[in-house]
Amino acid sequence: MNTPEKKLPQSQQLALFQETETGGAPATQTPATPEINARSSFNVALGSFERYMEQRGFTENTQQAFRLDMQLLADYLGPGTTLGQIGTANLKAFITWMTKARGVPCSPKTLERRITTLKVFFGWLAEEGVLPRDPAAPLIHRSVSAPLPEVLSDAEMQAVLAVTQAMRQGDEQRKPDPRPHLLVTLLLHTGIKKGECVRIVLNHLDVSDPTRPALWVRYATPGRRHKERRIMLPAEWPTILQEYLAVYKTRQYLFPWTARNLEYVLTKVGQEAGIARLTFEMLRWTCSLRDYVEGMDRDALRQKLGLSDISWYEVEPKLALLAQQIKVSKLES
């Protein structure tokens, strides 16, 4: 199941099976605690925020958009305003000014992004202890798109894998079925879309080196060839694949079923794991968030997900907010 080498984007999924894998994407530099406090001026804090964005690996487009959004807030607040003087009421007044009194059109999409910018900036200040609380937390996203995507927590992910492992091994009531475990681990490691998953042909799987298995994501349509890429798989995945092929005698497609059928597989796993709705999209975002939090190079992550620069411009802020939520929940637990 080899495929000719071709220069395509190559991505490394960070370890999911810690006991069987080594390596992973190089971590970005951990941002240092900013040398600012509640008495620091807002403009001084903006300089620290720019360094934070660079250290976190935000793409240049995202940095530029956030920089312009924060400069607009600086102009509104006026010179000399300190961080400690900025409360939720000030931010709500800023939003009202942008939408009703500034005299410059502010589209729903732009407003959504600017609220995201506020949440990322003030969430960062609260995380670092610069502010005792996040004044942007109460702001409501007037979203023109979907709300923040659902992702699996660490506990939920382990519950899902425990269920698929049990299905893989079987018991007195049911025969061993490696399909759920193969499917779930594939999605958690690669973050591929549902359509990409159902189109996988066996020769898209490269197991010529069992210690470095990989998936080639292919597209038949010339206009989508730019999305083609090579994604590394966990070292134990070829073993799961062999178990799967011994049960399911497929000769062309890895999953010779409809997307709806595979959705049923995920639904059944989710029900047994106590998760109301386990979907392709949830597993894709879970994979993305894990890589983001662990410091995968941002452009490498964009390529791994098969996203254009424009699409990544919308995805990256959502990952930043999800990462903040995880950090806050861990601090509170």
Summarised one tens digit per residue, pLDDT across range 33-76 is: 558 899 999 888 999 999 888 887 787 888 888 999 999 999 99
CA distance 302 to 320: 14
| pLDDT score for 308 | 80
pLDDT tens for 249-304 read 998 999 999 999 999 999 999 999 999 999 999 999 999 999 999 999 998 999 99
Tell me how many helices (H) and strands (E) the chain has: 12, 4
Spatial separation of the C-alpha atoms in residues 195 and 213, rounded to whole Å: 21
Residue 331 pLDDT more than 80?
no
Residue intervals of the chain classified under CATH 1.10.443.10 are 149-294
Q: How are beta strands 229-232 and 205-206 bridged, if at all?
A: unpaired
Contact by Cβ (8 Å): 209, 228: no
144, pLDDT greater than 70? no
CB 44 within 8 A of CB 36: yes
The class (CATH top level) of 42-127 is mainly alpha
| Spatial distance between the Cα atoms of 128 and 18, rounded to a whole number of angstroms | 29
In this structure, which amino acid lies at residue 99?
Answer: T
d(CA 225, CA 187): 21
Residue 29 corresponds to which tokens in the numbers above? 């530099």
User: Could you give the dihedral angle defined by the CA atoms of residues 289, 244, 234 and 20, in that order, rounded to the nearest 10 degrees?
Assistant: 120
What is the residue-averaged pLDDT of the chain? 85
pLDDT in the model for residue 11: 52
Contact assessment for residue 133 and residue 126, using Cβ atoms and an 8 Å cutoff: yes
Interatomic CA distance for residues 235 and 237, integer angstroms:
6
Q: Rounded to whole angstroms, how far apart are CA atoms 47 and 138?
A: 25
For residue 289, give every residue at least 6 positions away whose Cβ sits within 8 Å of its Cβ, in sequence order, or none: 151, 319, 322, 323, 326
What is the pLDDT, as a whole number, of residue 182? 98
- Comma-separated ranges of CATH 1.10.150.130 domains in the chain: 42-127
Does the pLDDT of residue 24 top 70, yes or no?
no
Supply the DSSP symbol for 270: H
Picking from 329, 280, 218, 304, the residue whose alpha carbon sits closest to that of residue 24 is: 304
Q: Is the dihedral of CA 83, 88, 92, 95 positive or negative?
A: positive
* Sequence-distant (≥ 6) Cβ neighbours of residue 212 within 8 angstroms: 232, 235
> How many Cβ atoms sit within 10 Å of the Cβ of residue 80?
9
Q: In which band, very low, low, confident or very high, does the pLDDT at 143 lie, cut at 50, 70 and 90? A: low
* Class of domain 149-294 (CATH, top level): mainly alpha
- Tell me: the pLDDT tens digits for 145-180? 557 899 999 999 999 999 999 999 998 888 999 999
In this predicted structure, what is the pLDDT of residue 313?
77
pLDDT of residue 145: 52
